[in-house]
A = this chain, B = another copy of it.
């Protein structure tokens, strides 16, 4: 069976758990406690020198880190990855947007506030994180104003990638109220068959 090295705290890991569940692919989870720094143990670094979760271990022992790469690998022959090459590129466009312009602000703010409980310590940096995160949310709001999903008017791994940290942005001190189109899209994602919440135990 597939093994997923995952942290229950990480939205990047949740993306993979959500996709595998929706595709009906069975997997077992090895929990990596990122607050304790278990991703830095020599044993884990031997598998992933970049010391990050998620990572999957295929049945033949092949290891694949990076949530975006894992989503592509399992979705590529399913309706969650479009057939049209330009739409495929647009799915990747939004997945790269998420990792570069969204996650480093929204996920990091959430980690500081919710898990490290260090809102005071990071007060100054949180201002920058909120600025960057709201910039990303505004880009999403503009895009979703006349669209139901991010690409090609159907649910894809771009929606999974962006849903993961957007719906828990309030954990990091963000308000989603100024983004009604984002809010309506979050609901559409949650209505997909076999949706599981980020807190779903594995």
Contacts and interface: CB of A to CB of B under 8 A. Distances in A.
Interface in A120-162: 138-139, 142-143
Interface stretch (A24-32, A68-76, A190-198): A68-76
Interface centre among A64, A86, A100, A143 (most CB of B within 10 A): A100
A69 B158 CA distance: 12
Nearest to A100: B99
A88 B66 CA distance: 13
A85 B101 contact: no
A88 B68 CA distance: 12
B66 A97 contact: yes
Number of copies: 2
Query: How many of chain A's residues touch chain B, expressed as a range?
Result: 20 to 34
B89 A73 contact: yes
A44 interface: no
B99 A96 contact: yes
Interface string A96-117: 1101110110000000000000
Nearest to A50: B139
Contact of A93 (B66, B85, B97): B66
A31 to B, nearest CB: 22
Contacts of A52: 101
B89 A142 contact: no
Given A49-B143, A50-B97, A50-B101, A92 B76 contact: no
A66 B49 CA distance: 26
Nearest to A102: B50
A62 interface: yes
Contact of A64 (B67, B90, B139): B90
A11 interface: no
Contacts of A85: 73, 76
A69 to B, nearest CB: 4
Nearest to A65: B93
Contact of A92 (B68, B139, B142): B68
